Chain A
Amino acid sequence: MQDAVTTIAIADAGESRGAERWRLVARNIFPFAVVGSIWEIVAWAGIFPHRLFPPLEEVAVSFVNLTISGILPHHAIETILRLLGGFALAAIFGTTIGVLMGRSRRAEDILLPLVSIGAPIPGLAYAPLFLLWFGLGNFSSVLLVGFVSAFPIIFNSWTGVKAVKEIWVRSAQSMGADDKRLFRYVILPGALPYILTGLRLGLAQAWRILVAVEMLAAVPWGLGWLIFGARKFLNTDAMLAGIAVIAIIGIVLEKYVFQKIENYTVVRWGMVKS
């Protein structure tokens, strides 16, 4: 009798867990379903010319065709390489500068005014300068992406170092940590939640500037170029396919890179709620 009750309880729990998962999936899909339906209604109502506002199934078809022909993957790979190149520069220099500013009063006094002035200027405003200085092509676009996306990384690393709890520093010092080891074993892990936030914002910034600059820098391949180029030929479906790829790459980076790193570090340590 006791056993039967337990079995039923377990079966119940299993079922409700399954139902729970379905509810989660439904909740995630719901907003997309709403927007998609509105899109379809607008597309089929003929408010815009058909070419300029294709229904989603046509976008999907051209997405598949462009993927099979290898055009879309080629664009995507070039863009991803530029993105990673620029972002890597920003991550390395941004965290270094930000942490330095947080640690050294003098570095803060010198760099903070410069960073504060540079940060609010839209990234695209720097683009003509970079193109004139470093020429058209990959080099200047990667450099520009690195430069512009370094700002949020600098700010957040700087804040993160300043926000490291005084009591951690005191504890470590009372246990004999010198400056070097204090930095490595306390300041860096203590600032990590902020540094990760900075990297995330930096990556978003990198996307924004990269897609725009790919059109300006006269590169032959790239999602930005695809999207702007498609406008000339009224290829709205190709534009939308390009936008979809950007969204997919963004989600993949967020879910499989940032969330993984966070779950392994700051979430596991209880410094950030999941």
Chain B
Amino acid sequence: MQPIAIRDVSLNYDTPGGKVQGVANVSIDIDASEFVCIVGPSGCGKSTLLNIIAGFLSPASGQISIGGKPVTGRGMDRGVVFQDFAQLFPWRTALGNVSFGLEMKGVANPERDKIAREQLRLVKLEKFTDSFPHHLSGGMQQRVAIARALAYNPSVLLMDEPFAALDAMTRDDMQRLLADVWRETRKTVIYVTHNVAEAVYLADRVVVMSAHPGTVKAIIKIDLPRPRDPLSVEFLDCQKELMGHLGHNTNGAALNGHGA
């Protein structure tokens, strides 16, 4: 598990109206095995930042290093989970999807199968190894995606609103499951969300970003003991504080757990 250093990262978008700054001078230091959530309004560049860390975009300036090694592109030291359920390969079973990274890594079959099954067990899908994605519910598909990103043992897990498209009840289950998976695997996690309650539930620290251009507005440490109780007073206080940083009215109506 590796620490991540993000130094002065900026990125511009080319639009018909000229250059628009998407992310401006973002610097964050993340410890090994730390769970960091990035929250912010739509268009604050949080997903862009994640894509830069994943190596899908290269920054205009600045540098990112993982475990001291500078990031120059995609790499198997990072696992990525997207929001879209369609990220799974429909032509592969759950097991086939989870095996993909191992195949690319050159892990041979008895071993590969064993690891993939183990990962599916970790996300409680051991009964669905041979199911194709279209037979799985949205929550199950996202669990396969998590298992798939973990299977080839990256030191960092990057997650882009993985539960945003799920219904509220499934989302609660998934957050609990992710917290368990993280406790067991101790990956360094960067998790983008617009859901304040989700960030407080999962994160060691929450990075609050603001838009136009995307900059870091505040970094808040969540010092609650785990497992966390979303109904406790301390939890709600944290949520309130976070919402304050997001510029929400914290009196009454805005307290619905959503920060976007």
Contact = CB atoms under 8 A, between A and B. Distances in A.
Interface string A108-141: 0000000000000000000000000000000000
Contact of B134 (A177, A185, A270): A270
A171 B103 CA distance: 14
A239 to B, nearest CB: 45
Interface in A142-193: 165, 167-168, 170-177, 181, 185-186, 189-190, 192
B76 A170 contact: no
Nearest to A172: B100
B231 interface: no
A265 B132 CA distance: 11
Contact of A175 (B55, B132, B152): B152
B84 A174 contact: no
Which range holds the interface residue count of chain A? 20 to 34
Given A175-B101, A269-B134, A270-B133, A168 B82 contact: no
Nearest to A265: B91
Contacts of B134: 269-270
7 contacts: A170-B82, A174-B54, A176-B105, A185-B100, A190-B89, A192-B91, A271-B90
Given A170-B56, A189-B91, A175 B104 contact: yes
Interface of B: 54-56, 74-76, 78-80, 82, 84, 86-91, 100-101, 103-105, 132-135, 148-149, 152
Contacts of A271: 90-91
B90 A270 contact: yes
Given A170-B82, A176-B152, A270 B135 contact: yes
A189 B100 CA distance: 14
Among A173, A174, A265, A271, max chain B CB count under 10 A is at: A174
Given A175-B100, A270-B132, A270-B133, A168 B89 contact: yes
A107 to B, nearest CB: 25
B80 A171 contact: yes
A170 B101 CA distance: 12
Contacts of A268: 132
A174 to B, nearest CB: 4
Contacts of B103: 185
B104 A181 contact: yes
